[in-house]
Amino acid sequence: MEYSITGMATETDDELLQRMHGGDEQAFVVLYRKLQGPIYRFVLNITGSTGVAEDVTQEVFLALIRKNCGFDAGRGTLSAYLFGIARKLVLRHLQRSRTMVEQEIQADEWGYPELGVTQDPMVDLLHSEGLEVLRRAVLTLPRRYREVVVLCDLEEMDYTQAAAALGCPVGTVRSRLHRARALLLEKLQEKRDARPEVRALDPARSSI
């Protein structure tokens, strides 16, 4: 059992799932209200499409309703499992879509060192650019980096949960996240340098 802010005991996701599969509709409602928002935001931040986010979220919870949904509590949390389903559905959508071009970087992920900073660079980006600007920048990242930023930085999953959702080792999540953050910093710096007010302050740029 978990405990709410008021100190009252609340059921865990696993307990709610068990009740739901036993025919308790209210248990499904509780799970849906708790997890629908994060799943929807994950898909939206990966695809940039509200329509896809709505469709995938609906499919995720339709899959959850099935008694043989495949969830194994011994392999991770229910939320990580649902993010994994959402990710597979998004990949299927991207493979079908001819309008979204995936810009996968072929460089060796393990060749990038960890960022030598004491503060989380994403916090600095949020303060300097705002959440909406950051989300738009995330959409420009290759998918492998987009996923880890959305899960770890926007949805605040820890590395273990993100690894379970993505089906990869924790080390891969850590490596991709550091590279993704570096790419975001580069992209936002380029955008900042291109602003008219920034160019006006730079004599070398203004003379071009």
Domains 2-96 and 116-201 share a fold: no
24 torsion bin: left (phi>0), alpha (psi -120 to 50), beta (else): beta
What is the rounded distance in angstroms from the CA atom of residue 70 to the CA atom of residue 81? 9
Second CATH level (architecture) for the domain 2-96: Orthogonal Bundle (1.10)
When pLDDT is cut at 50, 70 and 90, the band that residue 132 belongs to is confident
pLDDT tens column, 57-91: 999 998 888 877 788 888 888 999 999 999 999 98
**Global pTM value:** 0.66
pLDDT > 70 fraction of the chain, expressed in percent and rounded: 70
Pairing of strands 9-10, 2-3: antiparallel
Calculate what percentage of the chain has a pLDDT beyond 90.
34
Q: Where are the domains of the chain?
A: 2-96, 116-201
The secondary structure of residue 3, as a DSSP letter, is E
Its CATH class, for the domain covering 116-201, is mainly alpha
Across 171-189, average pLDDT: 88
> Alpha-carbon distance 109 to 112, whole Å?
6
Model confidence at 95: pLDDT above 90: no
Q: What radius of gyration do the chain's Cα atoms show?
A: 20
pLDDT tier at 39, thresholds 50, 70, 90: very high
